[in-house]
Structure formats: structure tokens, C-alpha cells
Amino acid sequence: MEAPPAVWSFRAGWTEPLRARPVPVVLTCVAVLALLAWRIGAEPVLPAFLYLGVAGTALGFVDVAIKRLPDPLTLPSYGAGVVLLGLAAPFTEDGGGHFLHALFGLAALWALFAVQWLLIPNAIGLGDVKLAGVLGLYLGWLGLDAWLLGVVATFVFGGLFAAGLLVARRAGRKSELPYGPFLLLGTLVAVLVHTG
């Protein structure tokens, strides 16, 4: 039976992991926001990345708990990211170039994960494809080096974690693992390296 569509409601099923463990969620979110504020500083683009920090933290906790990246968090992040980065562009040196690169980054990372999803449908979920586009937007804003680092870090973190579980015999080759946290962690590493 197919899962009911995710909707925006504090009582929706996908919010249960956030409601069940509010302290770890809030502490993680505060730590992520502090890191981003420290590295980016008082720049016009800071609100965009802080939004990503909040949404990304929530998505990470939900994906670990229920192996889903709910549309009510992922899809609005496209619009929020485009608007917030667009508002920062006029006040950023070569902001128009950064914004154009952000759109290219969105399309490229979405396409990369969409191809994987089509060719190896059980390796990643459609939610990972949707999240990849959002993260590609932010990585693209930071440039090609950040985009590449984010992609490589994602695959490295995901691969090491999966290998560790296999070695420890805590998972098999067909075990379903949440991939969103590795996408988010790889992006966070790239942002921290390529800002400030």
C-alpha cells in the first residue's frame, strides 16, 4: 500500500521524528547555524544558508528515522533558496554570476541524481533526487570547486558508512540506508570549506 502524500501539518506523520526528539533536533540545528554564521559572516547570502541549515537539519533527522525526505520540506526549499539567493545577488560582488551558477548547479546535481535513480532505482530514492537539486543550488552559488567537493564528499561519506555497516555485519548489500544525511553532510563540508 502506497504511503499517503506528505502534507504540511505539525501533526503529519513525517514530523513525528522531530516531535519525538526535539532536544537533539534543536541542538543540532543550533550547532549547524552557528557554524554557518561563523564561516559566512554578516554577508547578504547568510539568510539563504541559514534557511538551508534549518531545513537540512529537519530533513536529516526525518530521513534517518523513517527513510523519507518529505516533499513539504524539500519542494518549498527550491522556491526559498531561489528567492533568498536572488535577494542576496544585488548586494554581492558578481551576484548575477553567482546566481546563474546556482541555477546551473541546481540543474546539474538534480540531473546527476535523476540519472542514478533511473539507472539504479533501488540505490537512491526520488526524495534524494529532489534534495540534490536544492543542494546543487547552494553549491552552485559557491562555484564549481564547492559543487565538486560537495558531490565527492557525499559519495565518500555514504560509501564509508555503508562499508562500515557491511564490515560490522549490521547491514547487507540490499539494506536500505537513508542517503539524505550524506547529501546534507557533504554539502555542509563544501560550504564550510568554500566560505569565509
User: Where does the pLDDT of residue 47 fall: very low under 50, low under 70, confident under 90, or very high at 90 and above?
Assistant: very high
Question: Contact at 8 Å (CB) between 39 and 191?
Answer: yes
Instruction: Examine the pLDDT at 97 and tell me if it is beyond 90.
Output: yes
Tell me the Ramachandran region of residue 4: left when phi exceeds 0, alpha when psi lies from -120 to 50, beta otherwise: beta
Residue 108, pLDDT score: 98
Question: Contact at 8 Å (CB) between 140 and 189?
Answer: no
Instruction: Examine the pLDDT at 55 and tell me if it is beyond 80.
Output: yes
Residue 50, pLDDT score: 98
HEC string for 72-87: HHHHHHHHHHHHHHHH
Residue 12, pLDDT score: 79
Instruction: Examine the pLDDT at 71 and tell me if it is beyond 60.
Output: yes
Mean pLDDT (the chain) is 91
Question: Contact at 8 Å (CB) between 141 and 86?
Answer: no
For the residues 46-64, what does the mean pLDDT come to? 97
Query: What is the distance between the alpha carbons of residues 187 and 105, in angstroms, rounded to a whole number?
Result: 12
Residue 99, pLDDT score: 98
